[in-house]
Amino acid sequence: MLADYHMHTPFCRHAHGEPEEYAAEAVRKGLSEICFTDHSPAPAGFWCDGMRLDEFPAYQEAVFRCRESAAIPVLFGIEADFLPDPDFLAFARQWLPAQPFDVVLGSVHIIRGWVFTHGGESLEKWKTVDVAAVWREYFDLVGQMADTRLYDIVTHLDAPKHSGYWPPESQIPEIVQPALDRIAAAGMGIELNTSGLLRPCKEIYPSPLILNLARERGIPISFGSDAHGPQDVGRYFDQALKLAKDAGYTHCLRMRGRKKELVPLPGG
């Protein structure tokens, strides 16, 4: 059975449903365990897609309450953004290790102030930029994130494809491989995030090409629905499992207290 290590709650202000509803849906779909990973708070003055810092205790309490009643293990995690700013990193270096997390997902949503996965003006900007240059800058930020050793798993690894913009496929290995080398050196995992099937790109994160490059480097994988409502939990995991096996993966990550272990994929 697979585990869903990427789920949000109403604390991020763009999800709905109580944690207990997510857990019940996970049991219904036969998942082995789940981890709540809502968006991390950020210090004042920085973009934040998540809860305020003073709301974090209530988020922790909600997850721990769910853990007490759930029929499967419920882990406590966070999706923490990376920004290459000294003040932001000083906060992250102090705050992240001080929390009782099982999993810290690392994500990059911003390139020089541009929240590139949002709609509206953000989406319009994609029509005017050098797509390959944006991908290069994004994957350099992912590499910088890995270098910090503050995060456990990179989520939605090829996030710039969100709105349906890719560089030529022949350029993708050259763009991506340096970041994968840094992820491997940091001992991090990457996530098969099925929410991409609901985005304009209509593809799981990461693509088969990038997943094969990750497997060649021995980078372990986890699975995440990026659920923003109970109905999303474990969505499309059958497709993600096939993608993993087609890339040559035989095991996936299980985590407790930010320590990793590998367990066999379902079906051998």
What residue segments make up the domains of the chain, in order of their start? 3-264
Q: How confident is the model at residue 46 (pLDDT cuts 50, 70, 90)?
A: confident
Residue 74 vs residues 25, 33, 153, 247: alpha-carbon distances, Å? 13, 6, 18, 28
Please check the confidence at residue 44 and state whether its pLDDT lies above 90. no
Tell which wins on pLDDT, 106 or 12: 106
Q: How confident is the model at residue 254 (pLDDT cuts 50, 70, 90)?
A: very high
Q: What is the mean pLDDT of residues 227-231?
A: 97
Please identify, in words, the CATH class of the domain defined by 3-264.
alpha beta
Q: What is the pLDDT of residues 87-96, one digit of tens each?
A: 999 999 999 9
Statement: the pTM of the whole predicted model exceeds 0.85: yes
Residue 62 to residue 58: CA distance in whole angstroms: 6
Structure-token pair, residue 248: 């040559």
Alpha carbons within 13 angstroms on the beta-carbon side of residue 190 total 32
